[in-house]
Structure formats: structure tokens, C-alpha cells
Amino acid sequence: MKITLLFFLFFICMSPLYTEPNPNEDIFLSEESPHDEEALADDEPPHDEETLAGDEPPRDEETLAGDEPPHDKEILVSSELFPEEEDFIFNAPPLIIEVPVYTMRSFDDIFPSLTRRQRRLALSESGLKFYFEKDESARLIPNQDLEIDLLGTVMGKDPSHFIEALAVVPYKTREFDLLDIYNALGRIERIKNQSVLLNGRDYYIFTESTRIESSENRRAVPDPSPSFLLPFSQTMYLRLREIHFGDLYIRAEISISMLGITYSMTNFTDIRYLFIPVLRAERFITIIYLEPVKEGVLIYSVTGFYLPGFIADRANLTPSINRRIDVFIKWITEGLKIQEDAAIE
């Protein structure tokens, strides 16, 4: 009996159907092995070469032909999302940037309706000026297509009296640009240096001219150095000491367009004569438009101020204000000359 049992065990061990169990097989999880949540969270899956490459285990031909592909994974490898290499070529439309071509205008382009005499005076050193009251019409009308409407802005202050002025500062050694004009307008301290001819003598209307911090803080500040860049707009505050009216506090505003510069000056306090208010705050305005044209730098200004009837009947302030406009034109002319000399140096 013992011999028979031993022979039976020997026969089973030598049989080709028997294989010795692999001690490492317990490390790998089969598809049918149960997985608890802790094992899924803590254990990393085995990594063979195909798993590292991100591919699924291969399936036989019958499975590929008969089964529907899993929705999520099959869409990720769809050819629509991964086109052929040539489909990645991106043909961008050509980038076209239109830069406006600057063409310098002529004096006649801006003021086409002047008579020959008016044109000659405007191009002379003295310039051309007109005075009119509220119920009268302006004479210096720019080309309406150019939208240079100084008069409309001045009318917003509801003035009773107007003064128009037109002049051209000719070029000498070179043409001026907008930066030259802007820097000429920045030299506020030189306004006091301008004189007008009165009874054969030089007459200085302003004894002091300076910038101040603001409308509230009236501490004097010096003019800045000439700029190398143009601002879009700027507001500054000035104090001009006048021989008759004392201190005039002015708000100066600059706006810059592609072709020209507009410079406005408005009193933000009352203008007094012997403690009597002659011009109320915001009732005096001078707007100056400057543009380099073929003949030189065009200076076109409109001034408006309101005088009550009892003052207008007793005092003619128009000649006095006329002389002050002459001072501003001479100040701009001198500033351009300084710009010209600086370029030569």
C-alpha cells in the first residue's frame, strides 16, 4: 500500500501538467483579484514598457473588429483631434497697418476766402486783426472742412466783445514742427520780456510772468526744460502781473492734434481795476491755434470777453486787450526763434 502511494505521488510530480508555483506571482494583481479602496489609493499599478508609453494592452483582432470602442479613450486618440502633420500649418492673413501720410498744408488751404490785402497783412510782421461785438459777424473764417472752430468754443463763454488775429511766422533756416511749437509755448517766464510800441516807445505790459502750482496753491514754480515728447494734452496755471490790473491768474490748456496745437488761456479769478471787478472769473478767454504750414507757423487766435454795459460805455478796453494779444504773438515768435537757434547749436 505504501509503495503504491509513493508511486502515485511520483507520477503526479513528473507529469507535464504540473508546474511549480512562482513565488513572485502574488505581487501582481490579476483581473479577477478583488481590489479594496485602500489598495487602489496607496498602490501604484505595475509599469511595463507599454504602460509607460500610455497605450492600452493589446487586444486580439476579433475584439478590435466586433466591439465598440470605449467612448472616452477612443475619442482622445481620434484623428480629428490629431490631424496629419501638414494640417498643422497655419496660414495667417497678411498684417496691413495703414499709416496716414502727413502732407503740410498751405496758408490758403486753411484760409481760402481772404482778399489779397488781408492775405498780405496776415503774412506781414504786423499780422491781421479784427474787432467785433456780439451782434456782429467774424471775418476770419477757416475752411469749414478742416474743423478749426475756435469761435464756437469762445462763444461758449457768452462774451460781449471779440478780437480775431492772424499771423504767420516765416521759416528761416529750417521748418518748425509741433515739438518746436510746444516748447515755445512752455517758456512762460519770457512773456514779461515782450514789449509793444506805444507813443514811439517800448511799453511792457506784464512785469512778471510765472507758472504756479495750481489754482489753490499759487506758489511760483520754474518752467521745465524743453521736452523731447509731445503730450496729448496738458493743463497749467499761470500768474501774469499786469501794470494796470495787478495779478491775473490764468488757466492754460494745451491740446495736440496730428497737424496743430490749440492753446487756450482763461481767467479763473476776477480781473480787477482798483479793487473793482472788471472781468469776472471765466469770462475772458483767448484761444490760439498753431500749425506749421508751407509759408511758416500759422498763428490764428480768437479772444472773447464779457463787459457789463455800464463798463463798456465808460471804458474802451478793446485797444488794451489788442496790445496784450500782440504780446502773446511776439512771445510765441520769440520762442520759435529760440528753438531755431537751439537746433543750429
pLDDT band at 313 (very low <50, low <70, confident <90, very high): confident
Contact by Cβ (8 Å): 261, 181:
yes
**Residue 153: all three cell numbers together:** 468754443
Q: 3-state DSSP helix/strand/coil percent for the chain, to nearest 5?
A: 30, 25, 45
Q: Give the HSE-up count for residue 77: Cα atoms under 13 Å, Cβ half-sphere.
A: 7
What is the rounded CA–CA span in Å between residue 308 and residue 292?
38
Q: What is the pLDDT of residues 2-15, one digit of tens each?
A: 444 444 444 444 44
Query: Which is more confident, 286 or 49?
Result: 286
| 3-state SS, residue 309 | helix
Which three three-digit cell numbers place residue 53?
A: 508609453
Greater confidence (55 vs 217) lies with 217
Reply yes or no on whether the pLDDT at 223 is more than 50: yes
Q: Helices 318-344 and 178-185 meet at what angle, rounded to 10? A: 120
Could you give the CA distance from residue 317 to residue 124 in angstroms, rounded to a whole number?
25
pLDDT band at 95 (very low <50, low <70, confident <90, very high): low
Under 8 Å between Cβ of 141 and 113: yes
101 pLDDT tier (thresholds 50, 70, 90): low
Cell numbers given for 177: 514742427
CA distances for 345 relative to 15, 53, 171, 230, 341, angstroms = 113, 73, 17, 22, 6
Position with higher pLDDT, 71 vs 240: 240
Mean pLDDT value across residues 132-137: 90
**Band of pLDDT at residue 270, cut at 50, 70 and 90:** very high
The 10s digit of each residue's pLDDT in 51-61 is: 434 444 444 44
Three-class SS of residue 19? Answer: coil
Domains, the chain, ordered by start: 107-344 (3.30.530.20)
Residue 332: which of 208, 180, 108 has the closest Cα? 180
Percent of the chain with pLDDT over 90: 57
Say whether pLDDT at 154 is over 90: yes
The pLDDT mean for the chain works out to 79
Sole residue written with cell 469770462: 283
Name the DSSP letter for residue 225: P
What average pLDDT does range 145-159 have in this prediction? 94
Question: What average pLDDT does range 226-239 have in this prediction?
Answer: 96
The pLDDT assigned to 78 comes to 45
**Amino acid 91: pLDDT:** 55
Q: Which three cell numbers stand for residue 128?
A: 491781421
**Helix or strand holding residue 117 (H, E):** helix 116-122
- Residue 58 is given by DSSP the state P
pLDDT at 333 over 90: yes
CA–CA distance, 228 with 135 (Å, rounded to integer): 44
What are residue 323's phi and psi, to 5 degrees?
-65, -35
Q: How confident is the model at residue 74 (pLDDT cuts 50, 70, 90)?
A: very low
* pLDDT, tens digit (0-9, with 9 covering 90-100), for 164-186: 999 999 999 999 999 999 999 99
pLDDT(295) > 80: yes
* Contact assessment for residue 191 and residue 330, using Cβ atoms and an 8 Å cutoff: no
pTM strictly above 0.75 = no
Average pLDDT over residues 215-237: 96
pLDDT at 332: 96
Residue 92 pLDDT class (50, 70, 90 cuts):
low
